[in-house]
């Protein structure tokens, strides 16, 4: 069963009669935690207020939103299109959903770890040797290593790094409640199944491998924020699955990322942040986030890629191409299973 008990306290993004803003309409929504900093940004608050909106948000795991009653909310804003469509169907939303921005999933590693992966065929690095900050994560070889229960100690070059021990795995969030964890299973199952999992047979075929992906992780977080911050501080696991937006946001805000290397899985799933309008005011907010240039600019500052206007992200991140793959031309986008089958895979990954 999806967990719904972890809904965080409300974050107010906008106030009535705020400063020079003209906020006259308060809208309330439930959002994925990866968008909390965006809605709490004072510049976002002002930009929304200038358009007549004050936004109050609460956070929840994207897949946990389906179990929330959502009475009194104007919108729901999960981090993926699949739960967004499920919510729209459940609540009888007319006129479709909106997808203002998106972010691909990436694996982050410190440079010595990335070099070990490259030496063993699990990754390919770009840039000058010893200064690489970006590369490709090879999902097929990685899943083969997981099937074989390979440990770090079995990888060439790992013995020089005392922190590399135990089973090779990627830290992800809880796939039963969190979007990034669920999409990790979607990408892995697509590779393992040789295509989209769309029936019970596909779930059965991929379940043993998915269990091996999840079991070594122990207790998982419901948000990608904590594992990423642990990684940046040097206290996290060697490989962590995060949103590209988390890395891009740090770079664009000129924060120190140390020896971080961004590895783009050669087969991945893009996280389409999908706003589900539950009222007319919610739809109006979604329209603003999609079409207003100032709000798109602020979304980019928080690392998100605006839908339909790739040039805006490209221009803003021009100085950070050593880390960021602006075009994603070498990345294969896997389709996402329906909620029914993705939830089934999440359950089986733990049983």
The average confidence (pLDDT) of the chain is 90
At residue 176 the predicted structure's pLDDT band, cuts being 50, 70 and 90, is confident
Evaluate if residue 17 carries a pLDDT over 70: no
Whether 21 is in a domain gets the answer yes
Looking at the structure, do residues 150 and 179 belong to the same domain, yes or no?
A: yes
pLDDT in tens, 34-68: 899 999 999 999 999 999 999 999 988 888 888 88
Q: Which of 288, 304, 285 is nearest to 76 (CA)?
A: 285
Looking at the structure, do residues 237 and 95 belong to the same domain, yes or no?
A: no
Question: Token match 């390919």: residue?
Answer: 124
Looking at the structure, do residues 87 and 187 belong to the same domain, yes or no?
A: no
The pLDDT value given to residue 339: 83
pLDDT in tens, 116-148: 999 999 999 998 787 889 999 999 999 999 999
Whether 5 is in a domain gets the answer no
Whether 147 is in a domain gets the answer yes
The pLDDT value given to residue 23: 60
The structure's pTM equals 0.89
Whether 6 is in a domain gets the answer no
- The answer to which of 115-124, 245-254, 312-321, 329-338 has the lowest mean pLDDT is 329-338
CA distance 312 to 322: 18
- Domains in the chain: how many in total? 2
Domain residue limits at 65: 11-101+273-320
CATH code assigned at 27? 3.40.190.10
The pLDDT value given to residue 233: 85
Looking at the structure, do residues 32 and 82 belong to the same domain, yes or no?
A: yes
The pLDDT value given to residue 31: 94
Question: Token match 């440990």: residue?
Answer: 151
The pLDDT value given to residue 302: 96
pLDDT in tens, 158-168: 999 988 999 99
Looking at the structure, do residues 171 and 110 belong to the same domain, yes or no?
A: yes
Phi, psi of 305 (to 5 degrees): -100, 115
- Say if strands 240-243 and 98-110 run parallel, antiparallel, or are unpaired: antiparallel
Evaluate if residue 12 carries a pLDDT over 50: no
CA distance 41 to 329: 32
Whether 232 is in a domain gets the answer yes
Evaluate if residue 6 carries a pLDDT over 60: no
pLDDT in tens, 251-305: 999 999 999 999 999 999 889 999 999 999 999 999 999 999 999 999 999 999 9
At residue 248 the predicted structure's pLDDT band, cuts being 50, 70 and 90, is very high
pLDDT in tens, 62-87: 888 888 889 999 999 999 888 899 89
Looking at the structure, do residues 49 and 93 belong to the same domain, yes or no?
A: yes
Whether 295 is in a domain gets the answer yes
CA distance 196 to 161: 37
Looking at the structure, do residues 156 and 96 belong to the same domain, yes or no?
A: no
The pLDDT value given to residue 3: 36
Q: Do residues 87 and 78 make contact, with C-beta atoms less than 8 angstroms apart?
A: yes
The pLDDT value given to residue 250: 95
Looking at the structure, do residues 160 and 133 belong to the same domain, yes or no?
A: yes
Percent of the chain at pLDDT above 70? 93
Looking at the structure, do residues 306 and 205 belong to the same domain, yes or no?
A: no
Looking at the structure, do residues 289 and 183 belong to the same domain, yes or no?
A: no
Retrieve residue 107's tokens.
């694996």
At residue 22 the predicted structure's pLDDT band, cuts being 50, 70 and 90, is low
Phi, psi of 339 (to 5 degrees): -55, -40
Retrieve residue 139's tokens.
């999902």
Looking at the structure, do residues 25 and 161 belong to the same domain, yes or no?
A: no
Question: Token match 């699990």: residue?
Answer: 122
Whether 80 is in a domain gets the answer yes
Question: Token match 């000129």: residue?
Answer: 254
Looking at the structure, do residues 162 and 290 belong to the same domain, yes or no?
A: no
CA distances for 135 relative to 15, 74, 197, 328, angstroms: 43, 40, 27, 12
The top-scoring range by mean pLDDT among 5-9, 29-33, 169-173, 285-289 is 285-289
Whether 302 is in a domain gets the answer yes
């Amino acid at each position: 069963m999806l967990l719904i008990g972890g809904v965080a306290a409300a974050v107010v993004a906008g106030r009535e009669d705020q400063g020079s803003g003209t906020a006259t309409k308060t809208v309330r929504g439930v959002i994925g935690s990866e968008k909390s900093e965006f809605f709490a940004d004072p510049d976002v608050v002002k930009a929304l207020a200038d358009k007549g909106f004050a936004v109050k948000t609460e956070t929840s795991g994207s897949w946990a939103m389906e179990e929330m009653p959502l009475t009194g909310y104007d919108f729901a804003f999960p981090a993926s299109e699949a739960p967004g469509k499920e919510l729209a169907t459940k609540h009888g939303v007319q006129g479709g959903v909106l997808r203002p921005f998106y972010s691909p999933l990436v694996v982050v590693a410190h440079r010595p770890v990335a070099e070990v992966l490259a030496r063993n065929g699990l990754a390919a690095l770009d840039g000058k040797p010893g200064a690489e900050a970006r590369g490709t994560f090879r999902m097929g070889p990685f899943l083969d290593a997981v099937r074989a229960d390979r440990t770090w100690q079995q990888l060439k070059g790992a013995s020089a790094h005392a922190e590399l021990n135990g089973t090779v795995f990627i830290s992800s969030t809880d796939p039963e409640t969190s979007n990034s964890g669920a999409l990790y299973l979607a990408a892995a199952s697509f590779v393992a199944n040789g295509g989209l999992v769309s029936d019970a047979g596909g779930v059965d075929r991929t379940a043993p491998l998915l269990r091996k992906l999840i079991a070594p992780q122990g207790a998982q977080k419901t948000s990608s924020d904590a594992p990423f911050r642990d990684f940046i501080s040097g206290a996290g696991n060697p490989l962590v699955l995060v949103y590209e937006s988390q890395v891009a946001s740090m770079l664009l805000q000129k924060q120190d990322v140390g020896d971080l290397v961004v590895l783009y899985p050669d087969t991945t799933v893009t996280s389409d942040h999908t706003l589900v309008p539950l009222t007319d005011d919610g739809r109006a907010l979604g329209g603003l986030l999609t079409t207003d240039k100032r709000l798109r600019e602020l979304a980019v500052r928080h690392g998100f890629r605006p839908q339909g206007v790739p040039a805006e992200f490209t221009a803003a991140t021009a100085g950070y191409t050593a880390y960021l793959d602006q075009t994603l031309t070498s990345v294969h986008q896997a389709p996402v299973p329906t909620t029914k089958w993705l939830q089934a895979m999440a359950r089986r990954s733990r049983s």
